[in-house]
Amino acid sequence: MIAVTICLTGMVAFSGCNKANFPIVGELDDRAPVWMSEKIFAQLSSEKNYGLLKVTEHGRMNGLTRDFSVFNKRGVLGKDLMGSSKNSEIERCYIYLKEQGQSPEKYLISKFEEYDYVFLGEYHRLKQDVDFVVSLIPDLYQNGIRNIAYEFYQYANQNIVDSLLTAKEWNEKILYHNLSKGFGVMWGYSEYLDLFKKVWEFNQTLKPEQPKFRIVLLGYEYNPCKSGLEMFGGHDPDAFHADVFEKEIISKNEKALVYCGIHHAFTTYNQPSYDFEKAKFYGFVSGRFGNIINRKYPKKTFTIFLHSPWASDKGWDEQYVKPVNGAIDSVMTMFNNLPMGFDVKNTVIGNLKATDTYYAIGYNNFKLENFCDGYIFLQTYKKMEFVSVAPNYYDEYNLSKVKDFLKCRGFSEEDLQKTTQESAIEILTEHLENHFGDLVK
């Protein structure tokens, strides 16, 4: 860390200095790391500004004090730090989060003070996301939210699930054999299944007269042997989600946390319809689950995005990119990657722009506030993990359903005969590098 000030005699003295200060911090400084410098910066009462240098250490071979030309090479005293630059934008975001950032749990619960239907959109299958939702059960209930609307299993199982989650004894086998209908057979992940067990355990703590916590299943019928809408039982998937939600939540005057993939969770954002092979833009999609509910109840919906990489504007199979050109990641390093929830709409964070993502296609000036209303940061990419497959889910009964599913997907009879519990688990096991590539190296 270097400070352009007349009273720098060490870190402690610097923090108490009452002169104008301009601390310049090396991103890779392991002696006075960014988080330490930020704490000191926050304590300064004098006029101040702040600079963060990329690929810069404390004062050794790659540091500033060995070669002052680094200042010029990395733009320390130039426009990049002093004007309406990216660094200045990050600084404003830092100040905003310093004042308004909350713990993820507190932030999410607080949204129900104003909104009845909070959509929590995820990438899918990231362990920290599911674990976070499971941890919310007691706080949700204590704040009058007794429902989690769950994308991942068929609504046809709702009566059975309601019965199992309020029963005196836990019956995992019956639950698993029912959840495995349709696409559920390929969603045998321990963390997603654990939500059911945790809700049952919580309901055991309630008095008989108290209303019970529910998991409302939003899933449609799914037949992989068919095509088009017939694959989904003749229903548009998002419209089906919305119909179930109307019936099970809205008509009963209940509040709910909606936990689903981010594409279903869009309320005010319209997703681009784009063919990467033909490089053709067809317009915007306005019929996602969240869109449908928001059109009917615009003052009751709120979308929160769970931090994860975004699809590139170069194609679905291309290297994923950091949200809003990496700005969120940059500002969160200034908090030592502390988990945090914060508002996006009508904030300095919301003004962050993105130019390299699929989500910006068709937009002239795409900003984060176009995409979501709120944001929750739980973990850096390198520390993210995928969920694990539950071995007990794939007993003989469910394994036969796996074979039926794979047969529809073109597996040969020879391959189907070789399908075992172990091979089914291997098929379903995901690896972070296969999804996020260089971001996790």
User: In the chain, what are the helix, strand and coil shares in percent, each to the nearest 5?
Assistant: 45, 15, 40
- The domain spans of the chain are 2-82, 104-383
Position 19 scores a pLDDT of: 56
Question: 104-383 maps to which CATH number?
Answer: 3.40.50
How far, in Å, are 29, 182, 188, 195 from residue 179 at the CA level? 50, 8, 9, 13
Helix pair 158-165, 190-204: axis angle to 10 deg:
50
Greatest extent of the chain over all pairs of C-alpha atoms, in Å: 79
Position 73 scores a pLDDT of: 41
Report the C-alpha gap between 338 and 320 in whole angstroms: 23
Report the C-alpha gap between 77 and 71 in whole angstroms: 7
Structural contact between residues 191 and 388, judged by C-beta atoms closer than 8 angstroms: yes
Structural contact between residues 306 and 122, judged by C-beta atoms closer than 8 angstroms: yes
DSSP 220: P
- CA neighbor of 289 nearest in space, from 307, 301, 280: 301
Instruction: Work out whether strand 147-154 and strand 214-219 pair parallel, antiparallel, or are unpaired.
Output: parallel
Position 224 scores a pLDDT of: 87
Q: Which tokens in the block code for residue 247? A: 């019936």
Report the C-alpha gap between 50 and 19 in whole angstroms: 14
Position 242 scores a pLDDT of: 98
Low-confidence residues in the chain, pLDDT < 70: 1-87
Position 371 scores a pLDDT of: 98
> For tokens 């991103």, what's the residue?
27
- CA neighbor of 225 nearest in space, from 373, 357, 401: 401
Handedness of CA 65, 69, 75, 78 (dihedral sign): positive
Position 27 scores a pLDDT of: 60
Contact residues for 93 (Cβ-Cβ < 8 A; gap 6+):
327, 331, 348, 349, 352
Position 88 scores a pLDDT of: 85
Question: pLDDT tens digits, residue range 125-153?
Answer: 999 999 999 999 999 999 999 999 999 99
Position 188 scores a pLDDT of: 96
CA angle 350, 46, 50 (to 5 degrees): 45
Question: pLDDT tens digits, residue range 307-316?
Answer: 999 999 999 9
